Amino acid sequence: MSAATPLPSTAQAHRDAAYRFAVGALYFAVVSGLGSLVALLFGPYGIVVSVLVSLLGVYYGGIEVARGIDLLVRHAIAETADPSIEN
């Protein structure tokens, strides 16, 4: 690796936000999927269990997505306040 190749910046808000979005989607998928599998054990009442667990997945996934949005907003505010930050 040559010395002229710059290393990636550690202050890449878009990368960090994309990571948070992916983690949020993964939380939703895993929790909802497990809820659907557990709901099979409850027979006719399984739909209630599935809906409740899916809402739990939406909650935890939504928290991660909100953290990603927060990162983007904070970066945008910092970028407008400090003109030395360039993309």
CA dihedral (39, 45, 50, 52) in degrees, to 10, reads -130
Q: Domain extents for the chain? A: 32-81
Q: What is the full per-residue pLDDT of the chain (87 aa) written as tens digits?
A: 445 545 445 568 788 888 889 999 999 999 988 988 888 888 888 888 888 989 999 999 999 999 989 888 888 888 887 666 555
pLDDT of residue 66: 92
pLDDT of residue 7: 42
Alpha carbon separation from 17 to 5, 24, 30, 49, 66 (Å, rounded): 25, 10, 20, 31, 9
pTM for this predicted structure = 0.69
31: how many CB neighbours lie within 10 A of its CB? Answer: 19
Contacts of 87 (CB under 8 A, 6+ apart): none
pLDDT of residue 8: 45
